A = this chain, B = another copy of it.
Amino acid sequence: MVSSPNQATRILRNTSVAITAEGDGLGVVERAAVVIECGNVAWVGAERELPSSFADADVHDLGGRLLSPGLVDCHAHPIFAGRRADEFARRARGDHYLDIAREGGGIMATVRATREASAKALVDLACTRMNYALRSGTTTMEAKSGYDLTCDGELRLLKIASQVGQQHAMTMRPTLLGAHALPPEFADDREGFVQVVVEEMIPRAAHEQLAEAVDIYCDEGAFTLLETRTILEAAKRHKLATKAHVGQFADLGAPQLLAELGSLSGDHLEVVSDEGLAAMGKAGVLATMLPGACVQLRMAPPPVAAMRKAGVAMAIGSDLNPGTSHSESLPLAMWLATTHYGMSVEEAWLGVTRNAARALGDASIGRIAAGSPADLVVWNAEVPAEIPYHFGVNLAARVYKNGRTVWDASAND
């Protein structure tokens, strides 16, 4: 990884800057400049309006290329061990995800491998994944726990996420997903497990400041609506934000619950009622689209048109996980969102920047504005549409994190 000092004031000029403003559009400023000072954006605007106070700064000419905020991955499971390529091969031959899970594969296969892995091994694996993500333009990623399912183990995974964030340029945003699946130890005692989540995991994660949010998998074959309410209400009592995996296979009514609780987002939503969307739209709960998993599971896309109609803002996540979406790439998720989901180019960009930041409860990132961290990506592209349009290869030319250059593709030419 390339690294540069972040002290001197620098001007990035001769660029088109995207996602600068509020509102629905991308706020593209052509022939623009961005000033970086002390790791933050100090100024952004048309180059001809650059204040003379920055006259002494180092100037970097971006050759007309596109500059965007660092991408924000608001739904990811990056802390795990083990490999499930064999399951992928089975699914390619037509076996169903839920059948594989019933046979001990699926999430439980990863739980076994993750429980056995040392902290060092898990940190190393996650850092390798963060390299792939950073090179693809992501500068902030959610890190869900959920592959241990014991109280101590889930807290261990959250601590590992924090350690990855300290070692790696990527900012990690930890989410407790203790209720990812019912662990084998509680196979006959669902209530007992919910009690562990509510009375042990959530209080400890909150007290030790290891998580920002609590997530739960509320679906057919996972947790019920009532269990979801119990767990997310406990999270609220401990001042943690809430979110849920909902409607990947069946709509159990969770969208209305998320609206009632003022949650950050409902994620997946391939199956969702108009009433659920209306409630989400009214309450300002985001819909997080996960097209990698949707395409891989050969499912019909979520009702994007109905989401628009209901005023539900859409974010897009990689859903990086070892089962249904083994990908760190948000640009690829943008391509899938525009092609398979019928989202517009604008919706795709906002989905991995401003709306993804909202889905993490942080308005300071996912945009280029004075005062925001200088998390920036220079793209081998001139207009925003090129990123989903030119797919499957990495167009990120340079990535800045807090003003430092943390990836430069030209180092390899």
Contact = CB atoms under 8 A, between A and B. Distances in A.
Interface of A: 1, 83-86, 88-89, 92-94, 131-132, 135-136, 292, 295-296, 298, 318, 326-329, 331-333, 338-340, 342-345, 348, 382-383, 385-386, 388-394, 409, 411-413
Given A393-B327, A393-B394, A394-B394, A388 B298 contact: no
A158 B131 CA distance: 39
A85 B326 contact: no
Nearest to A382: B83
Contact of A92 (B92, B328, B331, B338): B338
Contacts of A132: 393
Contact of A345 (B92, B333, B411, B413): B92
Contact of A88 (B92, B338, B342): B338
A332 B391 contact: yes
Given A92-B345, A392-B327, A392-B332, A86 B385 contact: yes
B136 A393 contact: yes
Copies of this protein, total: 2
Contact of A327 (B292, B329, B385, B391): B391
Given A383-B85, A411-B411, A411-B412, A388 B92 contact: yes
B344 A93 contact: yes
A296 B411 CA distance: 32
A342 B94 contact: yes
17 contacts: A83-B386, A85-B383, A88-B345, A88-B388, A89-B344, A92-B338, A292-B392, A295-B339, A295-B340, A318-B392, A326-B389, A327-B393, A329-B393, A332-B332, A332-B392, A333-B392, A412-B412
A413 B1 contact: yes
B296 A339 contact: yes
Nearest to A330: B392
Contacts of A298: 339-340, 342
Contacts of A342: 92-94, 298
Contacts of A89: 344-345, 385, 389
B328 A392 contact: yes
A385 B89 CA distance: 6
Given A327-B393, A383-B85, A393-B394, A92 B339 contact: yes
Nearest to A340: B295
A1 B331 CA distance: 24
A92 B413 contact: no
Given A89-B385, A298-B339, 4 more contacts: A85-B389, A136-B392, A327-B391, A411-B412
A389 B295 contact: no
